[in-house]
Amino acid sequence: MKQFTIPFTYRSQFISSIKEKRKAEDKMKKDFTPTLLNFGSLEIYLARHFGFCYGVENAIEIAFKTIEENAGKRIFLLSEMIHNPSVNKDLLNLGVQFLQDTSGNPLFPFETLTKDDVVIIPAFGTTLEIESKLIALGISIEKYNTTCPFVEKVWNRSEQIANKDYSVIIHGKPTHEETRATFSHAAKNAPSLVLNDMREAEILSQFILGREPIENFYTVFAGRYSEGFDAEKHLYKIGVVNQTTMLASDTQAIADFLKTTMIERYGLNDSNVQERFAETRDTLCYATNDNQSAVYGLLQQEADLAIVVGGYNSSNTSHLVELCEEKLPTYYIDHPDRIISKETITHFNFHNKIELSTTNYLPNKQPIRIIMTSGASCPDALVEKAIEKIAGYFISEEEVKAYLQSL
């Protein structure tokens, strides 16, 4: 895989060493057991896969190269480059300005842009409407487009099934930048609908099966369907794609459920179900799969708690937290500074979007066992600092650094 040039401050020498060693030992990526960091009375188990993915490193490389090559020009990002506060803060400190917030609300008037300005499209991609607006202003969108190739793969797959007259069902968070972009691209070619979760898939199935009045569809899914969507006509042939950072198991469960719904509705079987349902399994992102599989591997380890590092508005990170919460007390932090002391940690509850402070989060036992991972937009350097901070409560700073350098 391509090696990217990104700021060295995002790297961690010891984590890179561990990842390279694990990669050499497991070229087929079949071993999802964690890596043990043994500090004596503290044991930290690092996930097999975590941190920056291909799309994130690609976006960061393009962004910093763009800044370097365009000194003196105004440089804008459509919205956050990736969902990590440290990276976005670095870009802002270099003079980059955001045109929108993550919900698409304007922060800087588009009409004041000129053809001499540079606009970077983030890794999530953007809508066709915004692309057209930028082109009309004379701004080149190709040169500084950091859209993840795996997001573009979803767009391409949507177009492929649209060309075979399937309507496109998108499993994603309706307000997320990537989902909005995917919806825009899909809706260009086919009737499209966004589903947030299995509950909504179950509701949709009732309309497909004729168990709910079809006119209620437009109220239940208001704001989720493309212009001209006709629920009586456009649910007869469907395919499911996803926001690439959703739980892979959730997307597959929704697809399997809707496939079963179509089989029931039209009296199909596995040999002819493709007449009504498109196979789209290949739109699941490799990094999402790897990181989530690595968490399942982590959870096989006996542990006392989990720490997950990543931006609080990071979809893929929140799903890693969700998996860990099923088994362990889980602390979601966006920076090592949230680890206040051996007694206190500040962390995020992504379910109700509030930050909490918890005392006595470390159990009074030996050894304390912690599982740790991070989101795909989190620099390894932040994970290293989190490890150093916690380990420093049990052994000296010099001992921590010596141990990590020996790995």
Active site residues: 178
Q: How many other CB atoms sit within 10 Å of the CB of residue 340? A: 14
Amino acid identity for residue 80 in this structure:
E
Question: Beta 192-195 vs 42-46: how paired, if at all?
Answer: unpaired
DSSP 191: -
Q: In whole angstroms, give the CA distance from residue 309 to residue 212.
A: 43
Q: Which residues of 236-270 are buried (b: 16+ CB within 10 A; e: fewer)?
A: ebbbbbbbbbbbbebbeebbeebbebbbeeeebee
Q: Which residues contact 199 (CB under 8 A, 6 or more apart)?
A: none
List residues bridging with 369 in a β-sheet.
43
For residues 148 and 122, the answer to whether their CB atoms sit within 8 Å is no
Q: What's the CA gap between 163 and 219, in Å, rounded?
A: 28
Nearest alpha-carbon partner for 289 in 320, 256, 331, 258: 320
Spatial CB neighbours of 84, under 8 Å, sequence gap ≥ 6: 310, 311, 314, 334, 375, 377, 378, 379
The answer for residues whose C-beta is within 8 angstroms of residue 384's C-beta and 6 or more apart is: 12, 14, 15, 404
